[in-house]
């Protein structure tokens, strides 16, 4: 009989590793930071400690941690999967808001969460993540929901602010994210 492995939050240097989605063009992050490409305009960094995203690990930190790149990704993903139990959905259709510790955009990386959301919106899941702490959900077959998400994203970019991510909406089809 196969045994299931449950990944609990991993403590590294007395801090929890968490993947954080950031804009590739964000001047706060550069080639000193450990970043993995997600889309051409989005990358994944790795946060040490709370609040998540305040400090992403650098290559110097990575050398000190002593993990392989694969283990870094795996442990951060395990922490995210474990922490997603605290994520909350707010609002009513046609557009829903995700609440998750100020790093709502990191939910993008949690397949189990999105698998559980399948069928809760009309059509394929469409999201807007204009900033690290804003994630709005609707369905591809909801014209009013798409309009609300588009307006929310446009307003965030018009207002500006810290940790802006992407003006693009993303759609999830067959377990994969792509531009909508």
Of 2-11, 83-92, 121-130, 160-169, the least confident = 2-11
User: Sheet of 15-23: strands edge to edge?
Assistant: 11-12, 15-23, 42-48, 36-37
DSSP three-state, residue 11: strand
| H or E segment and range at residue 16 | strand 15-23
**What string of DSSP letters covers 20-48?**
EEEETT-TT--TTB--EESSSSEEEEEEE
Residues 44, 36: contact at Cβ < 8 Å?
A: yes
Percentage of the chain surpassing pLDDT 70?
91
What tokens were used for 128?
A: 């807007």
pLDDT at residue 29 is higher than 80: yes
Do residues 51 and 15 make contact, with C-beta atoms less than 8 angstroms apart?
A: no
Query: How much of the chain exceeds pLDDT 90, in percent?
Result: 79
Say if residue 112's pLDDT is above 60.
yes
Whether the predicted model's global pTM rises above the 0.85 cut: yes
DSSP for residue 107: G
Give the 3-state secondary structure of residue 131: strand
Give CA–CA dist 29/130, Å, rounded. Answer: 17
């Amino acid at each position: 009989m196969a045994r299931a492995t449950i990944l609990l939050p991993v403590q590294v240097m007395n801090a929890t590793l968490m993947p954080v989605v950031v804009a590739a063009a964000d001047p706060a992050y550069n080639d000193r930071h450990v970043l993995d490409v997600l889309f051409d305009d989005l990358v994944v960094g790795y946060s040490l400690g709370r609040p998540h995203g305040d400090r992403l690990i650098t290559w110097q930190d990575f050398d000190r941690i002593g993990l392989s790149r694969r283990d870094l990704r795996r442990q951060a993903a395990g922490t995210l999967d474990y922490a997603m139990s605290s994520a909350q959905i707010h609002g009513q259709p046609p557009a829903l808001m995700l609440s998750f510790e100020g790093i709502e955009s990191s939910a993008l990386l949690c397949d189990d969460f999105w698998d559980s959301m399948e069928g809760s919106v009309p059509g394929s899941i469409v999201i807007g993540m204009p900033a690290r702490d804003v994630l709005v959900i609707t369905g591809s077959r909801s014209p009013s929901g798409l309009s609300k998400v588009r307006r929310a994203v446009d307003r965030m970019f018009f207002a500006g602010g810290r940790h802006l991510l992407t003006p693009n909406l993303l759609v999830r089809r067959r377990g994969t994210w792509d531009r909508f």
